[in-house]
Copies of this chain bind each other. A is one copy, B any other.
Amino acid sequence: MKESGRKLGALSPCAACKLLRRRCAQDCMFAPYFPADEPQKFASVHKVFGASNVNKMLQELPEHQRSDAVSSMVYEANARVRDPVYGCVGAISSLQKQIDSLQTQLAIAQAEVVHMRVRQFTSSSNPGVMDMAVDQATMGESLWSC
């Protein structure tokens, strides 16, 4: 009968146990989330959070949420490895700036729509007043230059 390396324990340790140089038990907390063929995942998480903290955090969660928790920790750890000063918070700050800029552009575009609707309504109510010449200069200046 052939059993998989995982089941036999030390034969095929998960990436965590391999890095930590320990026997990979059958009920290893890390094994389902850190397969041996993706060693970098655990390396980053271990460097940033520490294996013991990761283990503790996972144990405090119900099993069905652990996979998402590992994914978010790996993402966060990679961000911290890439940017040791700001980590994930750098991305949050940059997204927040992008939102501010989009909100400004949206407010301008929406104001323009309202303005044009009012003009259109006024001119259709007073067909004689066709001197609402389109200001070519206005058309040229981009509201949404970005």
When distances are taken between beta carbons in the complex, the residues of chain B under 8 Å from A72 are: 85-90
Look across to chain B and name the residue whose beta carbon is closest to the beta carbon of A86: B72
Q: How many copies does the complex hold?
A: 2
B144 touches A142 (CB 8 A): yes
State whether B69 touches A84 (Cβ < 8 A). Answer: yes
A124 CB–B CB distance under 8 Å: yes
In the complex, what residues of B have CB within 8 A of residue A12's CB? none
Interface: A4 (CB within 8 A):
no
* 22 CB < 8 A contacts A-B: A48-B53, A49-B50, A53-B53, A57-B80, A61-B85, A65-B85, A71-B89, A72-B85, A72-B89, A76-B80, A102-B106, A105-B106, A106-B144, A109-B112, A113-B113, A113-B116, A116-B116, A117-B134, A121-B134, A124-B133, A142-B143, A144-B144
